[in-house]
Amino acid sequence: MASVVEYKGLKAGYHCGYCDSAAGKASCGMWAHSMTVQDYQDLIDRGWRRSGRYVYKPVMNQTCCPQYTIRCRSLQFQPSKSHKKVLKKMLKFLAKGEISKGSCEDEPMEPSMEDAVAGDMALINKLDLQCDLEKLGDSLTESLEREVKKKGKGTKKEESKEFIQSQDRNEELGSGEPSHAVDVHTVPKPGKGADLSKPPCRKAKEIRKERKRLKLMRQNPAAGPEAFQAPQEPQAKPSRPRSLEELMFGSLPEDASHKLEVRLVPVSSEDPEFKSSLSQSFSLYVKYQMAVHRDPPEECGKTEFTGFLCTSPLEPENPPNGPDCGYGSFHQQYWLDGKIIAVGVIDILPYCVSSVYLYYDPDYSFLSLGVYSALREIAFTRQLHEQAPQLSYYYMGFYIHSCPKMKYKGHYRPSDLLCPETYVWVPIEQCLPSLDNSKYCRLNQDPEAADEGRSRDPDRLQVLYKKAILPYGVFKQQQQQREPGEEAAVLQYASLVGQACSERMLLFRS
C-alpha cells in the first residue's frame, strides 16, 4: 500500500478567514487519493495539514497570517485553573443538572483572562514596583504631616521626619526593589481601619491553645513552663496536584441527572455505527455552522459535510504494536442522554492524535464544549500511549499568533511550535518574544541548523504514470515533450514533502 497524491501547486491571493484580508492568503496543496498514516505523520511534521482529502501547506513567508503547527506534550500536560473550572462545571451538570451562570463561551477552548495574564503578572509587578513605592512614599508623607498638624505632638513630628528620611533612603537605592521587607503602618481615618495602638487580633485557635496551657499550669504548678509547651505539629507534605483524569472522571452519584458517553467511531461508510449516526451527526453540523460561524444554509449541504469531515485519504491500519483501535480517521461522538451534542474529528497517527475539527450543539455552549473536548482528546492521547508507547503528542492544528482568536491553543502547556525552515520543534515560550516582533520568523535559534529532511535527489522521487511506478529521473527521459513548468512544479513538490516522503509517495502524472 502506497500513498498516491496529485500536486496542485501554489494558490495565492485568496481570502483569509483569520484577518479577513481579501487576497492575502497563500498555500501549496495536493489532492490525496490515498495516504498511509506514516506518510501523513511525516507531512504534518513538515507543516502540512488535511481538510478532507485535500492536503495543504501555508507558504509561511508570504501568507498574511502565518500558521505554525502546534503540538501539546500530553504526558506532561497539567490543566490550568480555567481548564479545571470547565471540568468541574461538567461534573456538576452531569451530577445535579446545575448550569453555571455567565459561563457561555462562543470561542472554542478560549482561556479565561485569569490564565491569560497569570504568566505576565510577575513581570508587571517588577516593572511597577518602583513607581508604586514612590506613590506610597508621597501619600504616607502627606498623611503623616496632616496628623502632625492636627495633633501638634513633638514626638509625632520626630516620628514623621524619621519615616520620611527612611523613605528617601529607599528611593536612593534606585533598584526599584526594597533591600529588605518594609513594614509600613498608615494612620487610618477615624472609624476606618485597625487601631494601631492596640495589639493585633489573634486567631481563635491560638487563644484556645493558650487557655488550655494556662489551665494545665494552674493544675500542676510544680512543673516548669517548658512542660506545657504545645507539641510541634508535623510539617504537612505538599499536596500532589490532581491529574487530568482524576478531575475529568470524578465519581458521579447513582442518581446522576445526566449521562455522558464518548464513542470512538471510524470514518467509514462500511462501519454500522458510523452509518446509523450519520443523519444525526449531519443535522448537528448544520446547526453548528449556521449558529456559530453564521454560514448560510446553502453552504452547509450534505456534499460539503461529507467532503470536509466524513472523507479521509488515510488508510486504516492495525499493526501489532499500535493502539487497540488502530490508526486512521475517527469521529469522537459525545452522547448526552442518548443524543449527540458534539463530534470531534480526529486522526490517530503513529506518534500523535491530530485534531481536525469540532462541531457541537450551540444549545450546550454553557458547558464550554470546545475546551472540554480538547481536554478529553489529551486524556485520550495519554490512554493510547499506554497501548502504543511511541504515541504521546496531541496536535492542535495551526497556531496563529497574529490572530487573537487562535492564540488560545498556546495555553495548553507544555507545547511546541514547528520551525518553518528547519522543521524542528521549539518550546512555545522561546518562540513568543520573536512572534511578538514579527508575524513570520525562523523559530530555531541555531543559525547553522538546516532542514535535515530536505529533498537532496529529486530524480529518486517516485512517479505513478500509466499504472507504472518509476523514478522521476527515468520519467524525464521518457518524456520527449514536457508541459511548461512541469519540472519546476515537481521540484517544488519534492522540496515541500521532503526526501523520505518523495521516495515513498507516488506522484500521479497524467
Cα 223 from Cα 269, distance rounded (Å)? 87
Residue with cell 525562523: 442
At residue 346, does pLDDT exceed 50?
A: yes
- Give the tens place of pLDDT for each residue, 358-383: 999 999 999 999 999 999 999 999 99
- Asked whether residue 91 is domain-assigned, the answer is no
Helices (H), 48-96: 81-96
| CA-to-CA separations, 299 to 92, 134, 238, in angstroms, rounded | 37, 60, 55
What value does the mean pLDDT take over residues 152-170?
Answer: 44
Tell me how many degrees the CA angle 28-315-490 measures, rounded to the nearest 5: 30
Q: Which residue has the higher pLDDT, 462 or 169?
A: 462
Residue with cell 516548669: 224
Lay out the sheet containing 468-471: strands in order across: 49-51, 54-58, 25-34, 4-14, 506-509, 462-465, 468-471
Residue 472 CB contacts under 8 Å (≥ 6 apart), including other chains: 458, 459, 460, 461, 462, 463, 490, 507
What value does the mean pLDDT take over residues 270-277?
Answer: 97
Model pLDDT, residue 458: 97
- Asked whether residue 440 is domain-assigned, the answer is no
Share of the chain above pLDDT 90, in %: 69
Q: Which residue has the higher pLDDT, 486 or 169?
A: 486
At residue 114, does pLDDT exceed 50?
A: no
At residue 393, does pLDDT exceed 50?
A: yes
Bridge partners of 329?
347
What value does the mean pLDDT take over residues 185-200?
Answer: 57
Number of domains in the chain: 1
Model pLDDT, residue 484: 84
Residue with cell 521518457: 478
Q: Which long-range contacts (CB under 8 A, 24 or more apart) does 256-261 make?
A: 256/94, 256/95, 256/96, 257/93, 257/94, 257/95, 257/96, 257/97, 258/93, 258/94, 258/97, 258/336, 258/337, 259/94, 259/336, 259/337, 260/90, 260/94, 260/334, 260/335, 260/336, 261/334, 261/335
Residue with cell 454500522: 272
| C-alpha neighbours within 13 Å on the C-beta side of residue 300 | 18
Q: Which residue has the higher pLDDT, 182 or 35?
A: 35
What value does the mean pLDDT take over residues 5-21?
Answer: 96
Query: C-alpha grid cell for residue 191?
Result: 472609624
Model pLDDT, residue 270: 95
How far does the chain reach from its first CA to its final CA, in angstroms? 21
Lay out the sheet containing 352-360: strands in order across: 260-266, 328-336, 339-348, 352-360, 393-399, 68-73, 415-418, 425-427
Would you put residue 174 in left (φ > 0), alpha (ψ -120 to 50) or beta?
Answer: left
- Asked whether residue 126 is domain-assigned, the answer is yes
- Asked whether residue 310 is domain-assigned, the answer is no
* 8-state DSSP, 35: B
- Asked whether residue 116 is domain-assigned, the answer is no
- Comparing CA positions, the residue from 209, 233, 213 lying closest to residue 225 is 213
At residue 196, does pLDDT exceed 90?
A: no
Model pLDDT, residue 182: 38
Among the ranges given (5-14, 172-181, 215-224), the one the predictor scored with the smallest mean pLDDT: 172-181
Query: What is the span of the domain harbouring residue 129?
Result: 121-173
- Comparing CA positions, the residue from 379, 442, 287, 238 lying closest to residue 279 is 287
Per-residue pLDDT band for 103 (boundaries 50, 70, 90) equals very low
Q: Is the pTM of this model over 0.85?
A: no
One-letter identity of residue 242: R
Model pLDDT, residue 205: 83
Cis upstream peptide for 178 (omega within 30°): no
Share of the chain above pLDDT 70, in %: 77
Model pLDDT, residue 117: 30
| C-alpha neighbours within 13 Å on the C-beta side of residue 33 | 14
